Amino acid sequence: MIVELSHEFLRKEILKVGAHPASLEIFERKAQIIPLKIFNISSPTANVIKQEMLSLGGDVVVHKNVVDCKIEKSDVILLGTKKHYELFIKKLENNKYFEIPLVLQELKEYLLKQKPEKIVSPWGRVLNLSRTLVMGIINVTPDSFYSGSRKMQINEVLKTVEDMVINGVDIIDIGGQSTRPGAEPVSIDEEMSRVIPAIESIRKSYPDVVISVDTYYSKVAELAVDRGADMINDISAFRFDNDLVKIVAKYKVPYILMHMKGTPKDMQKNPYYDDVVREIMEFFEERINYAKENGVDPEKIIVDPGIGFGKRYEDNLEIMARLKEFKSLRKPILIGASRKSFIGKALSDLPPEERLEGTLGITALCVLNDVDIVRVHDVKENKRVIKVLEEIKCIRSSSL
């Protein structure tokens, strides 16, 4: 009998064989191929990389015309174990040709950098990122795409928060304007008149709950933080209000940076991608660098691929299928897919009111892929799915 072992249980199975505990780290470094892709490398550099990795027993994928330099640049896929990469880095340190120093620097940064274990708000409230957190959606709007999320009266807001807190919500997200496809923006004053009273009331009644404000207006964000909000959820990634980055830097507030093509009004007018994951990753890299250059603490940035924001049906599915690749950024990941149209389409065009089960399937996928935050309308149901899967994940982690 032959069994292919789950990587998560390799350590446990090695000990069952009777190996010396001191050998565990050695075996684990050799046990799993880690494919790493590097973009736009010159052919001479790619040839050196391939030669050096092959000499260590690893491998490298390059364009077929790299070997004779008939192509100027190629993407490169490295195939190696942790041990291979350790030895590969040592080899590259002695090679100063072409783009090798740049590749070496990026490789070191990637392999050494870790996602933050927690994020602390300006008020001292803590988001522990050791499990998947639930962000509950409350829209103080008359026109959000899912009617169940609309809570225009303060008593409705507080009753919804009460239910969410009872059911274990980790973050309450308050939004004052709809960002559904085709939505017109509301004014700063209108958004402020909606979200600030809601935040004040929630903070007074629930002093310990973490509050997020869903806004791209700097004035709304600043007043919201002043009145007790802990984080800013910005669909624009600092692109709609130039002063927002100053507010985030000034208050050292956790910040959700989301990818979107266009604006809510026009984002679904024939969006197109040649490579959706690569383009989103490049967007994140540029926006994170922009934030850092403007004084934002990079350890407080959370990334959101923006499900449904300037994406086709197939784009949303590919993002969900490749969630683990976004972990390469070493940033906490948020997924907001609750009751969205791609779920309805997958379920034979069901309306938002009938997309709960599909949403729970997406949440399960997120948990299994170690997504840090899921933004949902239905806290109780999603929390229960997460609780079961986290128990299973505990079994996995206890074997490591």
Long-range contacts of 249-253 (CB under 8 A, 24+ apart): 249/294, 249/295, 249/296, 249/297, 250/295, 251/122, 251/222, 251/225, 252/122, 252/297, 252/300, 253/121, 253/122, 253/221, 253/225, 253/229, 253/300
| Residue 158 C-alpha from the chain's centroid | 29
How far is Cα 35 from Cα 80, in angstroms, rounded to an integer? 7
CB atoms within 10 A of CB 6: 11
Tokens coding 229: 């909000």
3-state DSSP assignment of residue 57 = coil
Active-site residue (options: 340, 383, 384, 387): 340
Active-site residue (options: 11, 227, 375, 383): 375
Is the Cβ–Cβ distance between 195 and 155 less than 8 Å? no
340 is catalytic: yes
Which strand ranges, in their side-by-side order, compose the sheet holding 334-335? Answer: 301-304, 255-258, 231-234, 210-214, 171-175, 133-139, 373-376, 334-335
3-state DSSP assignment of residue 129 = coil
Is the Cβ–Cβ distance between 78 and 49 less than 8 Å? yes
How far is Cα 57 from Cα 305, in angstroms, rounded to an integer? 36
Annotate 354-382 with b (16+ C-beta within 10 A) or e (fewer): ebbebbbbbbbbbbebebbbbbbbbbebb
Q: How many residues does the chain have?
A: 400
* Residues with catalytic roles: 340, 375
